[in-house]
A = this chain, B = another copy of it.
């Protein structure tokens, strides 16, 4: 192939895709648009631009150079948004630290990423106290506090964010550089081993933003995200850039609302007072919000909520719709920036009942533009798209991590055969909707066939007595593995339903739904609690290790 590449006249601007350019349109068109932190702090995009400049000047004055790493420990805030822009725009790398990891893991990620400067909220001083003496590369600390009288920092700090910002000049000449420059890094929260670092370039984040804008803007009605929306994240900004939506919201010039630490009463208040119309979260968080007493007095109608991170039970989708929420699902993971698919409904589907709509709303979605998403067997051969055949989801897109930080073997495994391996199992129907059924490691192998733990969970969660459920595989002499449902009952149903009754209910529902014939081998146990990961997902690895310990 000898293609002819375009030649550029010497004066031509060969536009690199850089994060700073996401700010062009909002500053040119809606400079007075609002950004608020909890409704308590409120400023305009014009001020955002100034504060981004101030932050860059502050960091540069304290020796942060291009290629170095600035780590951030904060809840969702305007300050985080400022760092999303200022740090990469100066050519440095933003490490978004998962503050829900334990202190040892946080220490591991800060040392592993070679973080140079740390911006830390006083809420996390106890963590910092535990690890301060063992930080190998951090040489500068900036503190943040929402408190009038914050506690003293357990480590020498150069000062507090707001006062340092006020002292720094607002103008910073953000340079052009290679669009493949690394912009961000963060660590995935696997259930085994040390956290693994992923990383994204300016080019990747700009393309992810455009891809999401194209997908969410192209929706005819349902799930249409537009320039009059009010955006509030409820997926942490430390978790895959809050799914990239702060970049999207900024490029589109939306009003933005940052809620701080997720407290249901604050979230309900902000939705009402700030007229939030677009958010995203994991099912557990939505569950938590809708079940809070404050929710009974909150009008959620017209609130678009994109669900991801784990499967959305259809029952939750129906309950949310009945509250007026436009709930739908997306799919992605830390390694994929993250968004790969979105499950929009067309006009015909919107005419159906909430229950029928939930079947689509709870699917994992259809690929974004430029996303090459396949389901394949072990030899990377395509499985048929008939809505039944299950294969591993593998993908190519312009915004996937090109490896793991300092982990060449895991990186090659991730990209085996030139496709990123999600380790998710799923089917694709003729309309192109992906339905992720399980993590590869969560599939239950019974009698030599794969049974989907998620399908079984979906069936059981529809029982009126069930609050939450996790289905795991337990060793079985005859079948290899057989499924076990760990069920947390709703408080007012405890003692009114038996494990046996629920098992019969499930077996019947499984047969009716036409799920794997081995599903009927399901056992049911009531539990005191379910084990979750730091970001609210079911931790099946731990539950498998000793299910008996959880049971009533």
Residues of chain A at the chain B interface (Cβ within 8 Å): 1-15, 17, 21-22, 24-25, 28-30, 65-67, 91, 93, 175, 177-178, 180-182, 199-201, 204, 206-207, 210-211, 213-214, 216-220, 224-228, 251-252, 344, 346-347, 366-373, 396-398, 400, 402-403, 408, 411-412, 414-420, 431-432
Contact = CB atoms under 8 A, between A and B. Distances in A.
Main secondary structure of the interface of A (DSSP, over half): loop
A1 B91 contact: yes
A12 B199 CA distance: 13
B200 A6 contact: yes
Nearest to A408: B9
Given A2-B66, A9-B411, A24-B367, A252 B199 contact: no
Contacts of A210: 207, 210-211, 213-214, 369
6 contacts: A7-B402, A22-B370, A210-B213, A220-B228, A228-B347, A252-B369
Contacts of A400: 12-13, 15
B419 A180 contact: no
Given A7-B403, A415-B12, A415-B13, A21 B372 contact: yes
Q: Which 10 A-B pairs have the closest CB atoms?
A: A217-B217, A29-B432, A3-B181, A9-B411, A213-B214, A8-B402, A9-B403, A11-B415, A4-B67, A210-B210
A25 B367 contact: yes
A466 B291 CA distance: 66
Contacts of A91: 1, 3
Given A211-B210, A213-B218, A347-B228, A412 B178 contact: no
A389 B264 CA distance: 50
Quick one: copies of this chain in the complex? 2
A227 B417 CA distance: 33
Given A210-B211, A403-B7, A373 B28 contact: yes
B216 A217 contact: yes
Contacts of A5: 178, 180-182, 201
A10 B6 CA distance: 27
Nearest to A5: B180
Contacts of A29: 366-367, 431-432
A397 B366 contact: no
Contact of A15 (B6, B396, B414): B396
Contact of A21 (B2, B15, B180, B370): B370
A12 B411 contact: yes
A91 B3 CA distance: 5
Contacts of A373: 28
A397 B211 CA distance: 17
B226 A218 contact: yes
A411 B10 CA distance: 9
Contact of A402 (B12, B66, B344): B12
Nearest to A228: B220
A359 to B, nearest CB: 17
A10 B213 contact: no
Nearest to A399: B15
